[in-house]
Chains A and B, each alone.
Chain A
Amino acid sequence: MRIGQRISKRTVLVVLLAVSMVTALLGARVAPRLRMVGQYVLLPLGEGGIYVSCAVKKHLKNVTGRALSADEIRRLERENLELRGQQVVLEGEREYWRRQVEVIQGIRQSYAPIRDLPCELIPARVVAADALPYGRTRLVNGGNAVGAESGMKVTTRELLTDRSKRLPPNLAAISATALVGRLMETGEFTARLQLVTDSGYGTWARIRRMLDPAHPRTVTIGGVVRRLSDAHNPLVDVWAQGDGHAALTVAGVSAEENVRPGDWLVTRDDDALLPVQIRIGTVTEVRENPRDPHTVNLLIAPHADFASLREVYIVMRLGPGQQAPGNGGK
């Protein structure tokens, strides 16, 4: 008698239902391993689709948006003209200071041991998103095979150039400009990236207050009121977590810190996994905490555009004595 005749579809269904109940009850203990198996199947065709999706979303973002009135257009043109003038002046100054810095760095490097970011930046690409819109994760094509592990931080990858012509090879500079998230699950060739806006994401970070000479501000430290300046602008340590939608939240920041919209949320340079300060997002709203009038809650818009996120760096911290092989371009 054939096996197919002995095992009915009803029996198969009962077995499958039992399997899904067991995997559901085992929860996060087996879910990452099962998902990694499934991701091998997704990988071959997912990349093309996500490429099209990112391109379309980027285009839509550019063509849609609020229409400006004639007055607003004139005002913006005037501001642009003024800013262009300021830009020319600043570029001249920048060039002067850049040369000064080069001279100083040349002297320092001649006499001091080379210190570099003790990290290797592993380039990876987003190949698929979450099937359901409840979560904020992406599948990237960098797994254990290239050294990626769970918990590693992930940044954006941008090509920096001010040339409008096609660049010859080996001249472009690559920059990791913003924190995107961390790896939550890794397999041999793929990893699941949890974005900073995911409800399960949380990290220690710092608020960098942006100084504006037109709007000076004071902070109260230990009962003493002080005006913020370039020389005195301490960073504010905070715990930031994703709100599950499109932003991050920071709760319970002292109102005396005088955080305002426009301030930056940055990573901590004493972080074990990403020992450098890069942007996470910008404060967009400062709300009073209804439970404690002495503190405020912050809403932070991420710096990276997740709708068109394609190229990323996985940051791998190197051990003592190890050197970053591919950091030259950063």
Chain B
Amino acid sequence: MRWVPFAILAYLVIVLQCSLGQMLTFEISAIGSIGPDLAAVAALFIALHARRAADALLAAWVLGFALDLSSASGPGGVTAVGPMALAYVLAAGAVYKIREALFAERVLTRAVIGVIFCLLAHLPWVTLQTILAHNVMTWQAYGARLLQAMAISAYTGVVTPVFYPLLDRVRKWLLSVPAERPGRRR
């Protein structure tokens, strides 16, 4: 894993999500505001291609923590910093475990795994934030947030195949080339 290019990528993704990401956000009156989680796409890409689990989890933590720092409001008002970092690590860990069984080159697979990653990150995040704000949250509000999280995950799944090839183009800058095994001849 090349950490300096990754830091630049993480920064650009967060800036993109906080500014131009608003163009992709729209309202559904029954659900609320729906927008894609571009950081999840980046974390998913790293989880699918990182050489070591520790690299994938560290990258997921960085992206999740950056999201925590750049979104201030959510279930129950002011949100805590930290739950999204934990949720991203959980999601990246799960994807890393099952990645050998996936055909990540297929568009549909990428979309489905994008939805799964986002669900694994956002549902625990909503739940954790709700528990932390239990004095102001109601079961009805919690249900509404879960529904919104599912819609955001579905939307992220749709955009994952679009953004994935862009990340694929910079893969060599992000991920180090596998080292040769000792004693192996050219």
Contact = CB atoms under 8 A, between A and B. Distances in A.
Contacts of A53: 19-23
Contact of A42 (B14, B65, B68, B82): B14
A12 B141 CA distance: 36
B20 A52 contact: yes
Nearest to A22: B82
Contact of A13 (B19, B57, B69): B57
Given A23-B82, A38-B69, A134-B145, A57 B58 contact: no
Q: What is the predominant secondary structure among interface residues of chain A facing chain B?
A: helix
Given A13-B58, A42-B15, A131 B23 contact: no
A260 B23 CA distance: 34
A20 B85 contact: yes
A199 interface: yes
A50 B15 CA distance: 10
Interface size range of chain B in the complex:
35 or more
Interface stretch (B73-81, B107-115, B176-184): B73-81
B32 interface: yes
Interface in A1-58: 8-10, 12-13, 16-17, 19-28, 30-32, 34-35, 37-39, 41-42, 45-50, 52-54, 56-57
Contacts of B19: 45-50, 52-53, 128-129
A41 B126 CA distance: 26
A242 to B, nearest CB: 10
Contact of B86 (A17, A37, A185, A245): A17
A89 B128 CA distance: 61
Contacts of A22: 82
Given A20-B86, A199-B77, A245 B72 contact: no
B18 A130 contact: yes
A198 B76 CA distance: 10
Contacts, number: 192
B81 A23 contact: yes
Contact of A133 (B12, B35, B65, B89): B35
B16 A49 contact: yes
B86 A21 contact: yes
B72 A134 contact: no
A20 B145 CA distance: 22
B44 interface: no
B54 A135 contact: no
Contacts of B35: 132-133
Interface string B52-77: 10110110010011111111111111
Contacts of A54: 22
Contacts of A13: 54, 57-58, 61, 89
Contacts of A252: none
A24 B78 CA distance: 12
A50 B85 CA distance: 25
Interface string B13-53: 01111111111010101001111010100000000000010
A291 B8 CA distance: 54
B33 A245 contact: yes
Given A20-B85, A23-B81, A27-B80, A9 B52 contact: yes
Contacts of B82: 19-25
Contact of A137 (B54, B68, B73): B73
Contacts of A199: 73, 75-77, 141
A184 B70 contact: no
Contact of B55 (A9, A52, A135, A245): A9
B72 A31 contact: yes
Contact of B18 (A32, A46, A244): A46
B163 interface: no
Instruction: Give me the 8 closest cross-chain CB pairs, A-B, nearest first.
Output: A49-B19, A135-B73, A200-B77, A38-B69, A24-B82, A20-B82, A9-B54, A134-B74
Given A134-B126, A199-B76, 16 more contacts: A13-B61, A17-B86, A20-B81, A20-B86, A31-B78, A35-B81, A38-B69, A42-B15, A47-B19, A54-B22, A130-B70, A130-B72, A132-B35, A133-B25, A199-B77, A307-B22
Interface of A: 8-10, 12-13, 16-17, 19-28, 30-32, 34-35, 37-39, 41-42, 45-50, 52-54, 56-57, 128-137, 139, 184-185, 192, 194, 198-200, 244-246, 307
Interface of B: 11-12, 14-23, 25, 27, 29, 32-35, 37, 39, 52, 54-55, 57-58, 61, 64-86, 89, 126, 128, 132, 141, 144-145, 148, 152
11 contacts: A16-B65, A19-B82, A21-B82, A22-B82, A25-B82, A30-B81, A53-B21, A129-B21, A198-B73, A199-B77, A245-B32
